[in-house]
Chain A
Amino acid sequence: MAPLRRSSTLRLTGLLCLSFLVFFSRGFASHDVVSEKSSGTIQEDSHSQANSTAHKKTFPVLSFNYEHVRTPFEISLWILLALFMKLGFHIIPTVSHIVPESCLLIFVGLLVGGIIKATGEQPPVLDSNLFFLYLLPPIILDAGYFLPMRSFTENIGTILMFAVVGTLWNVFFIGGMMYAVCQIDAAELAHVDLLSCLLFGSIISAVDPVSVLAVFEEIHINELLHILVFGESLLNDAVTVVLYHLFKEFAHEQTITVTGAILGVISFFVVSLGGVMVGVIYGIVGAFTSRFTSYSRVIEPLFVFLYSYMAYLSAEIFHLSGIMSLIACGVIMRPYVEANISHKSYTTVKYFLKMWSSVSDTLIFIFLGVSTVAGPHTWNWIFVIFTVIFCLVSRVLGVIGLTAFINKFRIVKLTKKDQFIIAYGGLRGAIAFSLGFLLDNDEIKNLFLTAIITVIFFTVFVQGMTIRPLVELLAVKKKKESKESINEEIHTQFLDHLLTGIEDICGHYGHHHWKDKLNRFNKTYVKRWLIAGERSTEPQLISFYNKMELKQAMMMVESGSAAKLPTIVSTVSIRNVPTKGAPKPSRAISKSREEEIRRLLRANLQKTRQRLRSYSRYELLNDPLEDNISEARFRKQREMERRMSHYLTVPANRQETPPVRKVFFQPEHKVYTYDDSESPRGRASPSCADDVSELKETPEKPDQSSTPRANRDAELKPKEQDDQGDQLKVSRCLSDPGPNPEDDEDSTFLP
Chain B
Amino acid sequence: MGASQTRLEHNYDDLTEKSGFSHEQIKNLYQRFQQLSGNNEKISRDDLERIPALNNNPIRKQIITAFFDKRNQHQNDVGSLDEIGFEQFLMVMSHFRPVNSKATEEEKATVRKQKLRFLFNMHDTDNDGIITLDEYRTVVEELLSQSGAIETEVARAIADAAMLEVASTNVPHMAPDDFYEGITFEHFEQILKGIEMESRMHIRFLDKNAATMRCGKLSS
- Chain A residues within CB distance 8 Å of chain B: 411-413, 415, 480, 482-483, 485-488, 490-495, 497-513, 516, 520, 537, 539, 541-542, 545, 548, 570-574, 576-580, 587, 591, 642, 646-647, 650, 653, 722, 725-726, 728-730, 732-733
Contact = CB atoms under 8 A, between A and B. Distances in A.
B180 A576 contact: yes
A684 to B, nearest CB: 37
9 contacts: A487-B165, A501-B60, A502-B203, A508-B206, A545-B158, A572-B167, A572-B174, A591-B176, A729-B157
Given A486-B162, A490-B139, A576 B216 contact: no
Contacts of B60: 501
Contacts of A722: 156
Interface in B143-191: 143-144, 147-148, 150-154, 156-158, 160-168, 171-182, 191
A300 B175 CA distance: 48
A465 B156 CA distance: 51
A221 B60 CA distance: 37
> Which of B152, B160, B166, B213 has most A Cβ within 10 Å?
B160
B58 interface: yes
Contacts of A513: 53
Given A483-B194, A488-B194, A498-B119, 16 more contacts: A482-B194, A486-B161, A488-B192, A495-B119, A498-B122, A502-B203, A505-B54, A507-B32, A539-B147, A570-B174, A576-B178, A577-B163, A579-B132, A722-B156, A728-B151, A733-B154
Contacts, number: 204
B57 interface: yes
B147 A506 contact: no
B210 A729 contact: no
A482 B193 CA distance: 11
Contacts of B144: 539, 541-542
In the complex, the 6 A-B pairs of residues with the closest C-beta atoms, listed nearest first: A729-B153, A539-B147, A504-B53, A501-B63, A413-B101, A576-B180
Given A490-B140, A490-B158, A491-B119, A507 B213 contact: yes
A499 B203 contact: yes
Chain B contact-residue range equals 35 or more
Contacts of A488: 191-192, 194-195
B216 A494 contact: no
B141 to A, nearest CB: 11
A587 B134 CA distance: 18
Given A572-B180, A650-B161, A577 B174 contact: no
A732 B155 CA distance: 12
B7 interface: no
> Which of A483, A487, A520, A642 has most B Cβ within 10 Å?
A487
A542 B158 contact: yes
A282 to B, nearest CB: 30
Contact of B150 (A495, A507, A542, A726): A542
A512 B53 CA distance: 12
Contact of B153 (A548, A571, A728): A728
Contacts of B216: 504, 507
B204 interface: yes
B39 interface: no
B164 A411 contact: no
B51 interface: yes
A572 B157 contact: no
A415 B206 CA distance: 23
Contacts of A510: 203-204
A553 to B, nearest CB: 13
A512 B203 contact: yes
A733 B182 CA distance: 25
A487 B57 contact: no
Contact of B173 (A570, A653, A726): A570
A726 B167 CA distance: 19
Contact of A537 (B29, B53, B56, B147): B147
Contacts of A502: 63, 93, 96, 203
